[in-house]
């Protein structure tokens, strides 16, 4: 069986980006939301071509989850994907899309990990610090940490631990379907992240904000 192979990343670049993450890490605040959200956003990026990135932001009413806005921005890909540094590749373009929203959300659900990262700076935390907005991440696969398989029924969850530290929760959003990984990003705590992820689930593996952002990314890609 083939295993994904990641091309060697430039040591100089990695050292610089790592320092940037360490600095940003000092700004992260894991606290509950000031108030129950009224608007929640979801975002996602796709790559129409290897050198083009298309980022989407969807805005949904909470807790009804009705779509109220959808925007996107297309830009150039600047750096290759390197595990642990995803934010440096996608955040710049995501910010451009975010600026196009007419209304701003109370909290943002990001596709990827929050603090469930080696240096606790996954893309959700990274975006949260840049925007100084409450964020949390919902990822489809593991990056860092260990966990016990949650029960096969929807709603089951189990802690995601790294060095004995709680960095996220593995949540089964749908019966017998692979779970998602939920972790706080910035200005959000684990309880809130998991609670919102559950409240945004509508019978699909992915919570609505992320699922719709994914869906619209596909639609917008065709409009090009």
Partner DNA sequence: GCGACAG
Partner DNA sequence: ATCTTGTCGC
- The residues near 49 (Cβ < 8 Å, ≥ 6 apart) are none
**10, 31, 61, 83: which one binds DNA (CB under 7 A):** 83
CB of 94 to DNA, least distance (A): 10
Question: Residue from 57, 85, 136, 216 that binds DNA (CB under 7 A)?
Answer: 85
- Three-state DSSP class for residue 96: helix
Residue 64 and residue 69: Cα distance in Å, rounded?
14
Is residue 173 a contact partner of residue 204, using CB atoms and an 8 Å limit?
A: yes
Candidate list 20, 46, 156, 158; residue touching DNA; CB under 7 A: 46
Confirm or reject binding of residue 163 to DNA (CB under 7 A): no
- Whole-angstrom Cα distance, residue 154 to residue 172? 5
Number of shown-chain residues binding DNA (CB under 7 A): 28
Interacting positions 130-149 with DNA (CB under 7 A): 137, 139-143
Residue 152 touches DNA, criterion: CB under 7 A: no
Q: Could you tell me the smallest distance in angstroms from the CB atom of residue 64 to DNA?
A: 26
Task: Look up residue 134 and give its DSSP letter.
Answer: -
Note whether 191 and 89 are within 8 A (CB). Answer: no
Per-residue DSSP letter, 103: S
**Binding site for Mg(2+), residues?**
44, 111
Site for DNA, rule CB under 7 A: 3-4, 6, 44-48, 81, 83-87, 111-113, 117, 122-124, 137, 139-143, 221
């Amino acid at each position: 069986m083939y295993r994904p192979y990641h091309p060697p990343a430039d040591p100089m670049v990695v050292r610089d980006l790592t320092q940037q993450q360490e600095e940003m890490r000092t700004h992260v605040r894991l606290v509950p939301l000031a108030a129950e959200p009224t608007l929640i956003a979801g975002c996602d990026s796709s790559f129409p071509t290897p050198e083009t990135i298309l980022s989407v932001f969807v805005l949904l009413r909470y807790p009804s989850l009705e779509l109220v806005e959808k925007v996107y921005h297309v830009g150039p890909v600047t750096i290759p994907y390197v595990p642990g540094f995803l934010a440096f590749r996608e955040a710049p373009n995501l910010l451009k899309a975010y600026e196009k929203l007419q209304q701003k959300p109370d909290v943002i659900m990001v596709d990827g990990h929050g603090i469930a990262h080696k240096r606790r700076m996954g893309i959700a935390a990274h975006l949260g610090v840049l925007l100084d907005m409450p964020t949390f991440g919902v990822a489809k696969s593991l990056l860092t940490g260990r966990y016990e398989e949650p029960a096969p029924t929807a709603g089951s969850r189990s802690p995601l631990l790294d060095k004995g530290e709680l960095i996220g929760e593995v949540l089964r959003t749908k019966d017998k379907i692979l779970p998602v990984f939920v972790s706080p990003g910035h200005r959000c705590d684990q309880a809130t992240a998991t609670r919102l992820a559950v409240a945004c689930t509508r019978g699909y593996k992915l919570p609505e904000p992320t699922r719709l952002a994914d869906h619209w990314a596909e639609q917008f890609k065709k409009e090009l």
